[in-house]
Amino acid sequence: MVLGLSAGIGYITLKEHGIHRLRVPGDAEICLGLPELGAIPSARPPLSWGTQKRLASAKWPGVERMSLEQENSDLSESFRGAIVSILSAARTGFSPRSILVSSALPMEGKTTVASNIAITLSQLQKQVVLIDGDLRRPRLHDIFCLDNHQGLSDLILDKTPVKDMKMEEFIQYTAVSNLRVIPSGPTRTSASRLLYSERFDDLMQRLLQEFDYVLIDAPPCLKFADARILARRVDGVVLVLRANYTYDKSAIAAAQCFLVDGIPVLGTILNDWNPRISPAYGFDRYSEHYGAAVNKN
């Protein structure tokens, strides 16, 4: 009885303070008052810890490149839907060409979203460049199997005027047609000071002359100032929130960081949500029915 009473009091206290995690599509839009650009389902069904360990060494396409390696998957289709929302002029009044992808805190999947958005845009026959703006914990060079001996940090520190630089020395081709990547380059401890450089403005201007879209994978905005510094150079921000992980208060604080700076937040993407816990959306049943129809045809 004592334990039950304590649990009840704790639950009521949390409810009164309005502390809860974002769980299903629509939660973030109600909480933040921002458009929900997409909901990305989990790459795998929920598994026990023992099963996860057994499958750890199994060959499985990286979720960061799922839009390339499994184009017909539910995950890839969700990213295509998110792209339609991002590029739609109906809500924002313009179609953004430079986009920053960030999250409130680490482990919410912002790099996964950024890489898949870049791949999906390139599949539309658009010339896309993806910049690894996370100078503290870069990952894009591993995802696309690239060399990281030089990249963004070298571009900023170089003394040659940006307009005269040979960009092919820093921009690397990937296995994805129309998609190139500027890796982070050597990790710098003074990342924030480096990103304040006026050369970054010159770099963005040149990239927008040579590419249709420029995407930046930025660090979490509540942990580091880097995302807010980089966001001043783009048309808008996409905020990634992870289902059953991100608290509503964290999401509000993250959005507020950019809005206070006068930076447009294009909307949110709910990442890693489990359609099975939201049967009202019919996601799983639709996928099964559609797949069956394709097989019959």
Query: Which segment of 90-99, 106-115, 258-267 scores lowest on mean pLDDT?
Result: 90-99
The number of distinct structural domains making up the chain is: 1
Q: Which of 106, 117, 128, 87 is nearest to 214 (CA)?
A: 128
Calculate Rg over the CA atoms of the chain. 20
In percent, the amount of the chain with pLDDT more than 70 equals 78
Whether residue 48 lies inside any domain: the answer is no
Q: What does each C-alpha distance from 279 to 22, 72, 74 come to in angstroms?
A: 16, 22, 16
- Averaged pLDDT for residues 155-177: 92
pLDDT reading at 250 higher than 70? yes
Whether residue 8 lies inside any domain: the answer is no
DSSP string, 171-237: -EE-SSTTEEEE---S--TTHHHHHT-THHHHHHHHHHHH-SEEEEE---TTT-SHHHHHHTTSSEE
Whether residue 49 lies inside any domain: the answer is no
Whether residue 204 lies inside any domain: the answer is yes
Q: What does each C-alpha distance from 167 to 122, 131, 154, 163, 210 come to in angstroms?
A: 19, 13, 11, 9, 10
- Averaged pLDDT for residues 163-190: 90
Q: What is the pLDDT of residues 196-243, one digit of tens each?
A: 999 999 999 999 999 999 999 999 999 999 999 999 999 999 999 999
Q: What is the CATH number of the domain that holds 125?
A: 3.40.50.300
- pLDDT for 92: 54
Torsion of CA 169, 129, 208, 83, to 10 degrees: 180
Whether residue 86 lies inside any domain: the answer is yes
Whether residue 6 lies inside any domain: the answer is no
Q: At what angle do helices 74-87 and 110-122 cross, to 10 degrees?
A: 80
- pLDDT for 242: 96
Q: What is the pLDDT of residues 100-127, one digit of tens each?
A: 999 999 999 999 999 999 999 999 999 9
Secondary structure (3-state) at 23 = coil
Q: What is the pLDDT of residues 24-55, one digit of tens each?
A: 999 999 999 999 999 999 876 544 444 444 43
Q: Which of 221, 249, 252, 246 is nearest to 101 (CA)?
A: 221
More confident residue, 209 or 19: 209
Range of the domain at 105: 22-43+62-296
Whether residue 4 lies inside any domain: the answer is no
- pLDDT for 56: 41
Whether residue 57 lies inside any domain: the answer is no
287: how many CB neighbours lie within 10 A of its CB? Answer: 15
